[in-house]
Structure 1
Amino acid sequence: MLNNPRSYEEACRTFRWKIPDRYNLAFDVCDRQTMAGADGHRTALIVEGPDGTSERYTFHVLRLLANRLANVLQAWGVTPGDRVALALPAGLEAAVALLAVTRMGAVAVPIPTNLGAEPLGWRLSDSGAQVAVVDAELLPALDLIRSGLTALARVLVPNAAAPGTTEFWSEMERASDAFAPLVTPAGHPAFIFYPPDGCGKPPGAVLPHRAMAGGLPAVEMSLSFFPQFGDVAWTSADWMSAEALFRAVLPAWHHGVPVVATPGPFDPARALDSLSRHGVRAAYVPPAHLARLAEAASGRPHAMPRALASGPAPLDEALHEAVIKAFGIHANEAWGVIETGAVAANLAGLMELRPPSPGRTAPGLTIEAVDDRGRVLKAGERGVLAVSPNAPGSFLGYWGDRVEGPARRGGGGWMLTGRLGVRDLDNYIWPEPLALSDDTVMTTEGPTRLGAVEAVLNLHPTVSAAGVVEWPEGELRAFVQPRGLATPALLDEVGAWARLRLGTAGSPRRLELIETLPLAVDGSVLRAELLARAPRIDAPTAEDRWRPQRK
């Protein structure tokens, strides 16, 4: 959408939205790349295996495979507006499922694969998903909750067979590869996104087909006027997150740019190897991954990408300096919440970077700080950051509201981001850090409620009481008071119990036995006393030592 302007002011002055009233996301990012003279045999997806080998898939192949899956879902009774849950790692199956669901007008419900049974069950039941396409590693968690999922009729699992499920590729082989994409309005629901962490029972934000296009100005700016000739895109973010899809994968396919997929947990060394092998020139890397990537790059040879983007959490000066030292370029940022999409960005060379501000309002949009009545405040005055009415990337509402209207509309139609901050005279925005409750901590996987983790640990039959604290920063440390005599395998059993129910996103990585859990008069855990306890690395027996839990 941007045309390499010479200044930020020129970008804003010359920008025009070009989103048609009838717009189907799958048609835009896939079918369009095979029509009207376009070469459909260009590479769209490169999937790298754990051993470094890779497979390439063209836009034409993705379209045919998505058609097959759409026919499978249609034969199972999925109609426009029905929900289909997707919990898959980055790769071919994820790409095909995303394209198939959106091309038929159904609503995709992406669910991160690191969630356990409880957050998985909430997302499946709240969305009313009729079909789920899940990775085989999630089957134990799904089995634990499936009896309570009355709406879930079918489960597709790639490369695995289990009772009550259907093997993905076997079903695809019997389906036709001809399917006409539904001509949907641009505002037709396409996705329901829940927060990527397993904290509580949050509502799902419903995003329309046009949401990706609505965030393109900020995304293209943060990726240094993406695309440029020879670009190959990659992201370390989970493909089941809004950030990965709307800041990397779908924008790349919209522009006909190939995307590299590296399934599995983020590994900075493997990521650097992938960047080099496939000539990645444009990458979106979340802040937590960016710090680890820059640290790994500082001690070894590696490729130098053309553009690095991050966000939505603002980057501090130290991380900016580390990225410049490691890659020779600035890490640009794109900021926004799920409900608004990317609405602000910075770009080194086009504007001054002013950390921790994530940049200036994207072309085509307006961001203001408003008061509790929705009145626009003066530059520099603190209020709730809000996006201009009718912004194309804004959500339709929360799923629990049955999509009858946005729940975050303020006075004058402003879309509230829910974040306090200011806009200065130069149009930079300064969002304040997200406020957390006393019971909530920010781990490397996202916000986690300590009380919820304790409740799950207390359900284990051999646990009398449990207390959880954050230690060290970004990790959870749990203390378990056994019910009766502790066995050497108790900590392993409790750790597996927690991971199955909470996933790696919410389960503690450090488990220790404690003789008596310190409690207040009201029965609450005295977490300050637990924080003061040093880990017993030199304890005489193995069951008395803390044990790091495998991710």
Structure 2
Amino acid sequence: MSFASHQSQPDRYQELYTNFQWHVPEQLNIADVCCARWADTPSRIAIHYEDDEGKTATFTYSELHHQANRLAAVLQGLGVSKGDRVAIVLPQRPETAVAHIACYRLGAVAMPLSILFGPDALEYRLQNSEATVAVVDQAGLQNLLDTRANCPSLRHVIAVECATGDMLDWHRELAAAADSFDPVTTLATDPAVLIYTSGTTGAPKGALIPHSAIIGNLTGFVASQNWFPQEGDVFWSPADWAWTGGLMDALLPSLYFGMPILGYRGRFSAETAFHLLEKYGITNTFLFPTALKMMMKAVPAPRDRYTLKLRAIMSAGEAVGDAVFNWCETALGVPPNEMFGQTEMNYIVGNSIHQWPAKPGSMGRPYPGHRVAVIDDEGNLVKPGETGEVALNKTDIHGYPDPIFFIGYWKNPEATRNKYTGDWCRTGDLALVDEDGYLWYQGRADDMFKAAGYRIGPSEIENCLVKHAAVANVAVVPKPDAERGNIVKAFVVLTPDVVRGAEGDQRLIAELQAHVRGKLAPYEYPKEIEFIDALPMTTTGKVQRRVLRLLEQERAAKP
């Protein structure tokens, strides 16, 4: 099926977009709508679990509810109260969902942290958030141990199958706790989640997400998943549940609808992905373009080898591109729905292949309930075909407050103010809108970039590299890459005492890469390092990353 044949499908967009209205109750708690209301059906499955060693488990909504009650009681006994931050340093596993639901029932703020974070990345977030309790398993244990002494607010650590020293053992604590818990009443506008997002300059910022965001997410989720849920639907995504993509685009919306989601603890590979899709009868998924490219190259004709039940694929993080779009359509039988959003206001633009035609390469149209525009520096709408910044208005087309919005940046009111121009919240992403209302991505307005689906902020990587004795200055930019969209590249100015030489340069490059890999997340280390005599600077002394970014684009364009 080609793009032209999509055009012959019904286009219900205007009807859906114009008629949609938000209904958000004054009191709302994610734990109620994503767990408690489903717990009375004992057989209703919430989570299928598998790890890379072949261990499997099944968790019902009833089990999730009762374990969350027990953990909420434990946390309350440790002094956690409404508004307190609880760090969740866990991979995809049932205990991760339990920890989230427990925090919400307590009125606490869940702060998911990736197990990929090294000590420096963990330390900053734990210090800045003033988290009082952390939940961790073996995957994140050592890095947490390495940083705990520098985090005075962190009074308790609850360890899942890895308790050591003064840590509390998850199973022992839950076994001794009460099975019932009187939940704290929360407003829809109360904080529920704190997710740190990398910035262009300065340290990562903590985006405080309200309970209402689960409602604000739903139009995009339902549309991009081809009207989820339907009978027999099973969801899976390799997206880390510590990130917005895994938490708000996979785990929580699946639980909101009372449907099962697969949690897989292990490294992603194309073969593993197809194995899981077939074994668990996955119908709906969120796969980054990088993952789809890997699957396309590894198994060009998947339906010749696997029995698949896929009916919807959402993809985000970078452009899917014609080759992957066509492969999904022909080889999998499922055209992908591209989506665009960010932590601060997620799931705002995208496609829904059965409701309106997709244009391969386009970000799609604003999802119902979200008033999206492309604006100039003054906040004025630009004309179709002109490039501007993608922005979301505080209210929908009917004047009702959009529930998707974040509350603000944690302890950073200036950054929160700078996010807005009037009632428009800026995304920092450039796009043009065509005559049909489709948005086309044109790049970042700042120095942020995506690499293999991960949002990369140069500042944290540069700060890490500068701490190395051999580095005088550094600039991090994206280098175009056919597989990952971009890779992280660092232009490094060395200190005068460093002796240069081909063999020594290679050793130093490996040393600098290991230096970053050991302190930040693996996806943040520079896969390529180029030594340079001086960085391009403005007259006021600011690094011109744009010059280096254009240099890499020019190099990539050469045959």
1:501 to 497, 509, 519: 519
In the TM superposition, 1:477-492 aligns within 5 A as none
Q: TM-score, normalised by structure 1?
A: 0.83
Deviation, structure 1 residue 77:
0.6
Provide closer, same or farther for how the CA distance between residues 433 and 497 of structure 1 changes in structure 2, counting only shifts above 3 A.
closer
Alpha-carbon contact 2:340-2:347 (below 8 Å) kept: yes
Deviation, 1:335, is 1.5
- Structure 1 position 496, deviation (Å): 5.3
CA distance in 1, matches of 2:198, 2:535: 35
Q: Which amino acid is 1:316 matched to?
A: G
Residue 309 of structure 1 corresponds to 314
Q: Give per-residue Cα distances to partners, 1:457-509, cap 9 Å, x unaligned.
A: 67568x688989877944457899689998x9999887655433123122345
CA contact (8 A) 1:227 1:255 kept: yes
Distance change (3 Å), C-alpha of 1:43 and 1:441: closer
Alignment equivalent of 2:102, drawn from 100, 103, 112 = 100
- Where does residue 324 of structure 2 map in the other structure? 319
Moved more, 417-426 or 178-187: 417-426
Contact 1:218 1:343 in 2 (8 A): yes
The answer to whether the aligner puts 1:429 opposite 2:439 as a matched pair is yes
Alignment-derived partner of residue 369 in structure 1 = 374
1:149 counterpart residue number: 151
CA drift of 1:78 comes to: 0.6
Which has the higher mean CA deviation after the structures are superposed, 196-205 or 170-179?
196-205
Partner of 2:390: 385
Contact 1:27 1:181 (8 Å CA) reproduced: no
Mapped partners of 2:536, 2:290: distance in 1:
37
Q: CA deviation at 1:454?
A: 6.7
Could you list the runs of 5+ residues in structure 1 that have no partner in the other structure?
532-551
Is 1:241 aligned to residue 226 of structure 2?
Answer: no
Identify if the C-alpha distance between structure 1 residues 399 and 275 changes in structure 2 by more than 3 Å, giving closer, same or farther: same
AA partner of residue 78 (structure 1) = V
Q: How far has the Cα of 1:256 moved from its partner? A: 1.1
Is the CA contact (8 Å cut-off) linking 2:90 and 2:139 kept in structure 1? Answer: no
- Equivalent-residue separation in structure 1 for 2:512 and 2:376 (angstroms): 47
Matched, 1:419 2:433: no
Aligned residues with identical type, % of pairs = 32
Give, as a single letter, the amino acid of the residue that structure 1 aligns with 2:405: S
Which structure 2 segments of 5+ residues have no match?
A: 1-9, 395-400, 538-542, 553-559
Distance 1:493 1:431 in 2: 36
Equivalent pair of 2:428/2:446 in contact (CA under 8 Å)? no
Partner residue, 2:80? 78
Q: What amino acid does structure 2 have at the position aligned with 1:386?
A: A
Partner of 1:88: 90
Number of residue pairs matched by the alignment: 514
Q: Deviations over 1:407-439 (max 9, x none)?
A: 53322x2332232323333222233212554xx
8 Å CA contact 1:370, 1:385 repeated in 2: yes
Secondary structure at 1:386 match in 2: strand
Of the candidates 170, 188, 191, which is equivalent to residue 190 of structure 2? 188
Determine the structure 1 residue equivalent to 2:533: 519
What's the CA shift for 1:99? 0.7
Cross-structure match for 1:395: 406
Whether the 8 Å contact between 2:200 and 2:458 is mirrored in structure 1 is no
Q: After TM superposition, give the deviation of residue 456 of structure 1 in Å.
A: 4.2
**Letter of the aligned partner of 1:394 in structure 2?**
F
Which amino acid in 1 is paired with 2:431? G
State the SS of the aligned residue for 1:322: helix
**Counterpart code for 1:444:** A
Comparing 273-282 and 331-340, the one that deviates more: 331-340
CA distance in 2, matches of 1:509, 1:430: 28
1:431, 1:339 → 2: CA distance?
18
Q: Is the 8 A contact 1:199 1:447 kept in 2?
A: no
- Are the equivalent residues in 2 in contact too, given 1:367–1:423 (CA < 8 A)? no
Amino acid at match of 1:354: K
Shift of residue 286 of structure 1? 1.9
Relative to the length of structure 2, the TM-score reads 0.82
- Match of 2:346, SS state, is coil
Q: How much is the aligned-residue C-alpha RMSD, in angstroms?
A: 3.6
Tell me if structure 2 keeps the 8 A contact 1:443–1:476.
yes
Contact 1:464 / 1:482 at 8 angstroms: preserved in 2? no
Contact 1:24/1:181 (CA < 8 Å) preserved in 2?
no
Residues 497 and 415 of structure 1: CA distance in aligned 2, closer, same or farther (over 3 Å): closer
Distance (whole Å) between structure 2 residues aligned to residue 177 and residue 423 of structure 1: 53
Q: In structure 2, do the counterparts of structure 1 residues 157 and 196 end up closer, same or farther at CA, with 3 Å as the change threshold? A: farther
Deviation at 1:354, TM superposition (A): 1.5
Q: Which amino acid aligns with 1:366?
A: R
Instruction: Tell whether the 8 Å contact from 2:118 to 2:519 is kept in structure 1 after alignment.
Output: yes
Alignment of 1:342 with 2:347, yes or no, is: yes
- Give 2:137's match in structure 1, choosing from 132, 135, 138: 135
Q: 1:158 aligns with which of 149, 160, 175?
A: 160
CA, structure 1 residues 445+148, in 2 after alignment: closer, same or farther (shift >3 Å)? farther
CA–CA distance in structure 2, aligned partners of residues 324 and 101 of structure 1: 40
Aligned to 1:8: 13
